[in-house]
Structure 1
Amino acid sequence: MYGPPPAQEPTLPHPRPPAHPPTDAKTLIVRWLFALIPIGTLGLLAWVPSLRFAILRGRGIDWAVFGLFCSLTAGEILLIAFVPDDESNYSAFAGFYALSFFIGATIHAVRADRFPRHPPAHHPYAHTPAPAPPHAHTLPTAPLPAAPQAPAPQPTSPRMRQVASELDELGAYLRKQEGR
Protein backbone atom coordinates (compact mmCIF):
# COMPACT_ATOMS: atom_id res chain seq x y z
CA MET A 1 0.00 0.00 0.00
CA TYR A 2 2.80 2.41 0.91
CA GLY A 3 5.43 1.03 -1.42
CA PRO A 4 6.14 2.07 -4.99
CA PRO A 5 3.19 1.80 -7.36
CA PRO A 6 2.96 -1.47 -9.29
CA ALA A 7 4.15 -1.45 -12.86
CA GLN A 8 1.26 -0.91 -15.20
CA GLU A 9 0.71 -3.28 -18.05
CA PRO A 10 0.54 -1.70 -21.47
CA THR A 11 -3.08 -1.18 -22.42
CA LEU A 12 -4.54 -1.39 -25.86
CA PRO A 13 -6.58 1.56 -27.02
CA HIS A 14 -10.29 0.86 -26.74
CA PRO A 15 -12.24 1.32 -29.95
CA ARG A 16 -14.65 4.20 -29.39
CA PRO A 17 -17.53 5.10 -31.62
CA PRO A 18 -17.48 8.63 -32.98
CA ALA A 19 -19.12 11.19 -30.70
CA HIS A 20 -21.43 12.38 -33.45
CA PRO A 21 -22.00 10.31 -36.55
CA PRO A 22 -21.25 12.19 -39.73
CA THR A 23 -24.31 13.84 -41.20
CA ASP A 24 -24.75 14.56 -44.84
CA ALA A 25 -26.96 17.18 -46.44
CA LYS A 26 -29.83 14.75 -47.08
CA THR A 27 -29.95 13.76 -43.41
CA LEU A 28 -30.01 17.39 -42.30
CA ILE A 29 -32.78 18.27 -44.75
CA VAL A 30 -34.93 15.34 -43.58
CA ARG A 31 -34.25 16.24 -39.94
CA TRP A 32 -35.34 19.85 -40.41
CA LEU A 33 -38.37 18.96 -42.54
CA PHE A 34 -39.66 16.67 -39.80
CA ALA A 35 -38.90 19.37 -37.23
CA LEU A 36 -40.96 21.89 -39.19
CA ILE A 37 -44.07 19.68 -39.38
CA PRO A 38 -45.39 20.72 -35.93
CA ILE A 39 -44.96 24.42 -36.77
CA GLY A 40 -46.41 24.14 -40.27
CA THR A 41 -49.51 22.35 -39.05
CA LEU A 42 -49.88 24.43 -35.85
CA GLY A 43 -49.43 21.31 -33.74
CA LEU A 44 -52.07 19.15 -35.42
CA LEU A 45 -49.40 16.81 -36.82
CA ALA A 46 -46.93 17.20 -33.95
CA TRP A 47 -46.98 13.43 -33.44
CA VAL A 48 -45.32 12.73 -36.84
CA PRO A 49 -41.67 13.26 -35.73
CA SER A 50 -42.15 11.06 -32.67
CA LEU A 51 -43.73 8.37 -34.88
CA ARG A 52 -40.63 8.55 -37.08
CA PHE A 53 -38.36 8.06 -34.04
CA ALA A 54 -40.47 5.16 -32.79
CA ILE A 55 -40.36 3.39 -36.15
CA LEU A 56 -36.65 3.97 -36.71
CA ARG A 57 -35.49 3.08 -33.20
CA GLY A 58 -38.12 0.58 -32.14
CA ARG A 59 -37.62 1.33 -28.43
CA GLY A 60 -40.42 1.32 -25.90
CA ILE A 61 -39.66 4.85 -24.71
CA ASP A 62 -40.03 6.19 -28.24
CA TRP A 63 -43.43 4.51 -28.58
CA ALA A 64 -44.45 5.98 -25.22
CA VAL A 65 -43.44 9.47 -26.38
CA PHE A 66 -45.42 8.90 -29.57
CA GLY A 67 -48.47 7.99 -27.48
CA LEU A 68 -47.96 11.12 -25.37
CA PHE A 69 -47.85 13.33 -28.46
CA CYS A 70 -51.00 11.67 -29.82
CA SER A 71 -52.87 12.38 -26.59
CA LEU A 72 -51.59 15.98 -26.46
CA THR A 73 -52.73 16.45 -30.06
CA ALA A 74 -56.17 15.12 -29.14
CA GLY A 75 -56.25 17.62 -26.27
CA GLU A 76 -55.40 20.44 -28.67
CA ILE A 77 -58.16 19.38 -31.06
CA LEU A 78 -60.67 19.32 -28.18
CA LEU A 79 -59.59 22.79 -27.07
CA ILE A 80 -59.95 24.14 -30.59
CA ALA A 81 -63.37 22.55 -30.99
CA PHE A 82 -64.95 23.50 -27.66
CA VAL A 83 -63.38 26.78 -26.54
CA PRO A 84 -65.23 29.85 -27.83
CA ASP A 85 -63.35 32.50 -29.80
CA ASP A 86 -64.11 35.36 -27.42
CA GLU A 87 -61.63 37.19 -25.22
CA SER A 88 -61.97 34.93 -22.20
CA ASN A 89 -59.42 33.15 -20.09
CA TYR A 90 -60.36 29.85 -21.75
CA SER A 91 -59.45 31.21 -25.14
CA ALA A 92 -56.14 32.53 -23.83
CA PHE A 93 -55.39 29.15 -22.25
CA ALA A 94 -56.19 27.33 -25.51
CA GLY A 95 -53.90 29.64 -27.46
CA PHE A 96 -51.09 29.25 -24.93
CA TYR A 97 -51.53 25.47 -24.96
CA ALA A 98 -51.40 25.28 -28.77
CA LEU A 99 -48.40 27.61 -29.01
CA SER A 100 -46.37 25.86 -26.33
CA PHE A 101 -47.36 22.44 -27.70
CA PHE A 102 -46.13 22.93 -31.23
CA ILE A 103 -42.99 24.79 -30.12
CA GLY A 104 -42.25 21.98 -27.66
CA ALA A 105 -42.87 19.36 -30.34
CA THR A 106 -40.47 21.16 -32.68
CA ILE A 107 -37.77 21.32 -30.01
CA HIS A 108 -38.29 17.62 -29.32
CA ALA A 109 -38.00 16.80 -33.02
CA VAL A 110 -34.70 18.69 -33.29
CA ARG A 111 -33.12 17.53 -30.04
CA ALA A 112 -34.18 13.87 -30.15
CA ASP A 113 -32.83 13.44 -33.67
CA ARG A 114 -29.32 14.39 -32.55
CA PHE A 115 -28.77 11.15 -30.64
CA PRO A 116 -27.53 8.06 -32.45
CA ARG A 117 -30.05 5.34 -33.07
CA HIS A 118 -29.48 1.98 -31.42
CA PRO A 119 -32.35 -0.32 -32.38
CA PRO A 120 -32.95 -3.36 -30.19
CA ALA A 121 -31.63 -6.73 -31.30
CA HIS A 122 -35.05 -7.97 -32.41
CA HIS A 123 -35.62 -4.96 -34.64
CA PRO A 124 -35.58 -5.91 -38.35
CA TYR A 125 -33.07 -3.17 -39.18
CA ALA A 126 -30.73 -3.96 -36.31
CA HIS A 127 -27.14 -4.54 -37.23
CA THR A 128 -24.65 -6.56 -35.25
CA PRO A 129 -21.56 -4.69 -34.16
CA ALA A 130 -18.15 -5.94 -35.13
CA PRO A 131 -16.63 -8.17 -32.45
CA ALA A 132 -14.04 -6.52 -30.25
CA PRO A 133 -10.58 -8.12 -29.85
CA PRO A 134 -10.94 -10.85 -27.21
CA HIS A 135 -8.21 -9.42 -24.99
CA ALA A 136 -9.43 -5.83 -25.08
CA HIS A 137 -12.28 -5.99 -22.57
CA THR A 138 -12.01 -9.36 -20.83
CA LEU A 139 -12.08 -9.59 -17.07
CA PRO A 140 -10.92 -12.60 -15.06
CA THR A 141 -13.81 -14.77 -13.95
CA ALA A 142 -12.12 -16.39 -10.96
CA PRO A 143 -10.83 -14.33 -8.04
CA LEU A 144 -7.10 -13.82 -8.04
CA PRO A 145 -5.16 -15.23 -5.08
CA ALA A 146 -4.10 -12.63 -2.57
CA ALA A 147 -0.46 -11.66 -2.89
CA PRO A 148 1.59 -11.89 0.28
CA GLN A 149 1.99 -8.44 1.74
CA ALA A 150 4.95 -7.13 3.62
CA PRO A 151 4.08 -5.22 6.78
CA ALA A 152 3.31 -1.66 5.84
CA PRO A 153 5.38 1.08 7.44
CA GLN A 154 3.45 2.96 10.10
CA PRO A 155 2.21 6.41 9.09
CA THR A 156 3.62 9.33 10.98
CA SER A 157 0.74 11.75 11.44
CA PRO A 158 -2.31 10.95 13.62
CA ARG A 159 -4.67 11.44 10.67
CA MET A 160 -2.64 9.01 8.57
CA ARG A 161 -2.76 6.43 11.39
CA GLN A 162 -6.54 6.85 11.62
CA VAL A 163 -6.99 6.41 7.87
CA ALA A 164 -4.69 3.36 7.87
CA SER A 165 -6.63 1.73 10.70
CA GLU A 166 -9.95 2.44 8.94
CA LEU A 167 -8.59 0.88 5.76
CA ASP A 168 -7.45 -2.16 7.73
CA GLU A 169 -10.92 -2.51 9.25
CA LEU A 170 -12.52 -2.16 5.84
CA GLY A 171 -10.19 -4.81 4.41
CA ALA A 172 -11.06 -7.22 7.24
CA TYR A 173 -14.77 -6.57 6.71
CA LEU A 174 -14.51 -7.18 2.95
CA ARG A 175 -12.54 -10.40 3.50
CA LYS A 176 -15.21 -11.53 5.96
CA GLN A 177 -17.98 -10.73 3.43
CA GLU A 178 -16.10 -12.51 0.64
CA GLY A 179 -15.79 -15.65 2.75
CA ARG A 180 -19.59 -16.07 3.11
Structure 2
Amino acid sequence: MHGHGYTQPVKQPPPTGWLVFLRVLFVTLSILSLGFLTWTMPLRLAIVTRKPLDWGLFAAVLAVDIVSVVLLGSEPGDEIHTAGGWTGLGLLLGTLVVVIAYYLSADVRHFHQLRYGGFAPHPAPAPAPSYGYPQPPAPYPAAPLAPMPGHPIPAPAPHAPAVPPPPASAPVPAPPPRRPAPARIDQVRAELDELSDYLRRQDGGHEGGR
Protein backbone atom coordinates (compact mmCIF):
# COMPACT_ATOMS: atom_id res chain seq x y z
CA MET A 1 0.00 0.00 0.00
CA HIS A 2 1.17 3.51 -0.73
CA GLY A 3 1.56 5.99 2.10
CA HIS A 4 0.36 9.58 2.19
CA GLY A 5 3.80 10.85 1.15
CA TYR A 6 5.98 13.45 2.77
CA THR A 7 4.67 16.93 3.47
CA GLN A 8 6.69 19.79 2.07
CA PRO A 9 8.58 21.70 4.77
CA VAL A 10 7.30 25.19 5.42
CA LYS A 11 9.80 27.92 4.58
CA GLN A 12 11.17 29.55 7.69
CA PRO A 13 10.84 33.37 7.79
CA PRO A 14 13.99 35.47 8.21
CA PRO A 15 15.03 36.56 11.70
CA THR A 16 13.06 39.42 13.24
CA GLY A 17 16.13 41.65 13.48
CA TRP A 18 16.82 41.36 9.74
CA LEU A 19 13.18 42.18 8.91
CA VAL A 20 13.25 45.28 11.11
CA PHE A 21 16.49 46.42 9.44
CA LEU A 22 14.95 46.08 5.95
CA ARG A 23 11.84 48.01 6.95
CA VAL A 24 13.84 50.85 8.40
CA LEU A 25 16.14 50.86 5.36
CA PHE A 26 13.36 51.17 2.76
CA VAL A 27 11.43 53.78 4.76
CA THR A 28 14.53 55.88 5.34
CA LEU A 29 15.52 55.62 1.68
CA SER A 30 12.08 56.86 0.59
CA ILE A 31 12.08 59.78 3.04
CA LEU A 32 15.61 60.94 2.23
CA SER A 33 14.77 60.92 -1.49
CA LEU A 34 11.76 63.17 -0.75
CA GLY A 35 9.40 60.50 -2.10
CA PHE A 36 11.11 59.86 -5.42
CA LEU A 37 11.99 56.31 -4.29
CA THR A 38 8.62 55.53 -2.69
CA TRP A 39 8.04 52.83 -5.29
CA THR A 40 10.80 50.69 -3.75
CA MET A 41 8.60 49.82 -0.72
CA PRO A 42 5.65 48.34 -2.66
CA LEU A 43 8.14 46.61 -4.98
CA ARG A 44 9.75 44.74 -2.09
CA LEU A 45 6.32 43.97 -0.60
CA ALA A 46 5.06 42.54 -3.90
CA ILE A 47 8.17 40.37 -4.27
CA VAL A 48 7.72 39.02 -0.73
CA THR A 49 3.95 38.41 -0.68
CA ARG A 50 3.45 37.73 -4.43
CA LYS A 51 -0.08 39.07 -4.24
CA PRO A 52 -1.77 40.71 -7.22
CA LEU A 53 -2.92 43.55 -4.97
CA ASP A 54 0.64 44.42 -4.00
CA TRP A 55 1.78 44.28 -7.63
CA GLY A 56 -1.07 46.61 -8.56
CA LEU A 57 -0.07 48.98 -5.75
CA PHE A 58 3.51 49.00 -6.99
CA ALA A 59 2.37 49.92 -10.52
CA ALA A 60 0.11 52.70 -9.20
CA VAL A 61 2.82 54.19 -6.95
CA LEU A 62 5.34 54.06 -9.77
CA ALA A 63 2.91 55.88 -12.08
CA VAL A 64 2.21 58.56 -9.44
CA ASP A 65 5.93 59.10 -8.89
CA ILE A 66 6.48 59.53 -12.64
CA VAL A 67 3.64 62.06 -12.88
CA SER A 68 5.00 63.95 -9.87
CA VAL A 69 8.48 64.12 -11.40
CA VAL A 70 7.01 65.42 -14.68
CA LEU A 71 4.99 68.10 -12.91
CA LEU A 72 7.93 69.22 -10.80
CA GLY A 73 10.22 69.20 -13.81
CA SER A 74 7.90 71.56 -15.67
CA GLU A 75 8.74 74.36 -13.24
CA PRO A 76 10.83 77.11 -14.94
CA GLY A 77 13.06 77.75 -11.93
CA ASP A 78 14.42 76.00 -8.89
CA GLU A 79 11.45 77.03 -6.75
CA ILE A 80 7.84 75.98 -7.13
CA HIS A 81 5.57 78.76 -8.45
CA THR A 82 2.90 77.07 -10.58
CA ALA A 83 -0.12 74.93 -9.67
CA GLY A 84 1.37 72.01 -11.55
CA GLY A 85 4.45 72.08 -9.36
CA TRP A 86 2.43 72.19 -6.16
CA THR A 87 0.26 69.35 -7.41
CA GLY A 88 3.30 67.23 -8.16
CA LEU A 89 4.78 67.95 -4.71
CA GLY A 90 1.47 67.09 -3.00
CA LEU A 91 1.18 63.82 -4.88
CA LEU A 92 4.78 62.95 -4.01
CA LEU A 93 4.47 63.61 -0.28
CA GLY A 94 0.94 62.19 0.08
CA THR A 95 1.89 59.00 -1.67
CA LEU A 96 4.95 58.73 0.57
CA VAL A 97 2.88 58.87 3.78
CA VAL A 98 0.21 56.42 2.58
CA VAL A 99 2.71 53.91 1.21
CA ILE A 100 4.82 53.94 4.39
CA ALA A 101 1.78 53.13 6.54
CA TYR A 102 0.57 50.37 4.23
CA TYR A 103 4.03 48.89 3.71
CA LEU A 104 4.80 48.55 7.41
CA SER A 105 1.42 47.06 8.33
CA ALA A 106 1.33 44.62 5.39
CA ASP A 107 4.93 43.48 5.89
CA VAL A 108 4.46 42.86 9.61
CA ARG A 109 1.18 41.02 9.05
CA HIS A 110 2.64 38.83 6.32
CA PHE A 111 5.62 37.60 8.32
CA HIS A 112 3.52 37.20 11.46
CA GLN A 113 1.15 34.85 9.61
CA LEU A 114 4.11 33.05 8.06
CA ARG A 115 5.76 32.54 11.43
CA TYR A 116 2.76 31.60 13.58
CA GLY A 117 0.00 30.69 11.15
CA GLY A 118 1.85 28.22 8.94
CA PHE A 119 2.87 25.76 11.64
CA ALA A 120 -0.56 24.87 12.99
CA PRO A 121 -0.76 21.07 13.26
CA HIS A 122 -3.32 19.49 10.99
CA PRO A 123 -5.38 16.58 12.32
CA ALA A 124 -4.35 13.22 10.95
CA PRO A 125 -6.87 11.68 8.53
CA ALA A 126 -9.01 8.91 9.95
CA PRO A 127 -7.83 5.45 8.83
CA ALA A 128 -10.07 3.55 6.45
CA PRO A 129 -11.98 0.69 8.07
CA SER A 130 -10.31 -2.67 7.50
CA TYR A 131 -12.74 -5.53 7.37
CA GLY A 132 -11.91 -8.59 9.38
CA TYR A 133 -9.91 -6.71 12.06
CA PRO A 134 -11.27 -5.30 15.31
CA GLN A 135 -11.70 -1.56 15.27
CA PRO A 136 -10.22 0.54 18.10
CA PRO A 137 -12.74 2.06 20.51
CA ALA A 138 -13.89 5.60 20.00
CA PRO A 139 -11.79 8.20 21.88
CA TYR A 140 -14.88 9.95 23.21
CA PRO A 141 -18.06 8.43 24.67
CA ALA A 142 -21.15 8.66 22.52
CA ALA A 143 -23.52 11.46 23.44
CA PRO A 144 -26.87 10.33 24.91
CA LEU A 145 -29.81 10.50 22.56
CA ALA A 146 -32.12 13.46 23.03
CA PRO A 147 -35.70 12.53 24.05
CA MET A 148 -38.42 12.83 21.42
CA PRO A 149 -40.62 15.90 21.75
CA GLY A 150 -43.79 15.16 23.69
CA HIS A 151 -42.30 12.27 25.69
CA PRO A 152 -41.28 12.89 29.30
CA ILE A 153 -37.84 11.97 30.42
CA PRO A 154 -38.11 8.85 32.64
CA ALA A 155 -36.85 9.45 36.14
CA PRO A 156 -34.27 6.99 37.44
CA ALA A 157 -35.73 4.31 39.68
CA PRO A 158 -34.82 4.77 43.36
CA HIS A 159 -32.56 2.15 44.75
CA ALA A 160 -34.19 -0.07 47.38
CA PRO A 161 -32.33 -0.19 50.70
CA ALA A 162 -30.36 -3.33 51.17
CA VAL A 163 -32.03 -5.66 53.67
CA PRO A 164 -29.53 -7.56 55.81
CA PRO A 165 -30.04 -11.34 55.82
CA PRO A 166 -31.60 -12.81 58.97
CA PRO A 167 -29.15 -14.26 61.46
CA ALA A 168 -28.68 -17.99 61.27
CA SER A 169 -30.66 -19.69 64.10
CA ALA A 170 -29.15 -22.47 66.12
CA PRO A 171 -30.39 -25.96 65.16
CA VAL A 172 -33.21 -27.22 67.44
CA PRO A 173 -32.33 -30.64 68.93
CA ALA A 174 -34.81 -33.42 68.12
CA PRO A 175 -36.82 -34.58 71.14
CA PRO A 176 -35.81 -38.01 72.49
CA PRO A 177 -38.19 -40.93 71.76
CA ARG A 178 -40.85 -41.25 74.38
CA ARG A 179 -41.21 -44.60 76.09
CA PRO A 180 -44.74 -46.08 76.46
CA ALA A 181 -46.23 -45.50 79.81
CA PRO A 182 -46.45 -48.49 82.22
CA ALA A 183 -50.23 -48.19 82.35
CA ARG A 184 -50.49 -48.85 78.64
CA ILE A 185 -48.43 -52.06 79.00
CA ASP A 186 -50.59 -53.30 81.85
CA GLN A 187 -53.75 -52.63 79.85
CA VAL A 188 -52.42 -54.57 76.85
CA ARG A 189 -51.38 -57.41 79.13
CA ALA A 190 -54.84 -57.62 80.75
CA GLU A 191 -56.53 -57.68 77.37
CA LEU A 192 -54.28 -60.53 76.29
CA ASP A 193 -55.14 -62.47 79.46
CA GLU A 194 -58.86 -61.98 78.87
CA LEU A 195 -58.47 -63.10 75.26
CA SER A 196 -56.59 -66.22 76.42
CA ASP A 197 -59.35 -67.06 78.99
CA TYR A 198 -61.99 -66.59 76.34
CA LEU A 199 -60.23 -68.89 73.94
CA ARG A 200 -59.77 -71.53 76.64
CA ARG A 201 -63.47 -71.39 77.48
CA GLN A 202 -64.34 -71.74 73.84
CA ASP A 203 -62.06 -74.73 73.50
CA GLY A 204 -63.52 -76.32 76.62
CA GLY A 205 -67.07 -75.89 75.32
CA HIS A 206 -66.26 -77.57 72.06
CA GLU A 207 -64.66 -80.55 73.79
CA GLY A 208 -67.68 -81.02 76.16
CA GLY A 209 -70.14 -81.06 73.27
CA ARG A 210 -68.50 -84.04 71.72
TM-score, structure 2 normalization: 0.45
> Aligned-pair distance for 1:47?
1.0
User: Helix, strand or coil for the counterpart of 1:32?
Assistant: helix
Gapped regions of structure 1 (runs ≥ 5): 1-20, 120-127, 137-146, 154-180
Matched with 1:97 is: 91
Task: Determine whether 1:65 maps to 2:57.
Answer: yes
**Percent sequence identity over aligned pairs:** 25
> Aligned-pair distance for 1:95?
2.5
User: Helix, strand or coil for the counterpart of 1:116?
Assistant: helix
Counterpart among 25, 35, 46 of residue 38 in structure 2: 46
Aligned length: 115
Written as runs of structure 1 = structure 2, the 5 A alignment for 1:79-158 is 79-84=71-76, 85-117=79-111, 132-134=122-124, 149-151=148-150
Which structure has the greater CA radius of gyration?
2
Q: Compared with structure 1, are the counterparts of its residues 90 and 112 closer, same or farther at alpha carbon in structure 2 (3 Å cutoff)?
A: same
User: Helix, strand or coil for the counterpart of 2:22?
Assistant: helix
Do the aligned residues in 1 keep the contact of 2:27 with 2:41 (CA within 8 Å)? yes
Output the aligned Cα RMSD: 3.3
Gapped regions of structure 2 (runs ≥ 5): 1-12, 127-145, 153-210
> Aligned-pair distance for 1:61?
1.1
TM-score, structure 1 normalization: 0.51
| Structure with the larger RCO, 1 or 2 (CA within 8 Å, 6+ apart) | 1
Deviations 1:121-168 (A, max 9, x none): xxxxxxx867611379xxxxxxxxxx7731389xxxxxxxxxxxxxxx
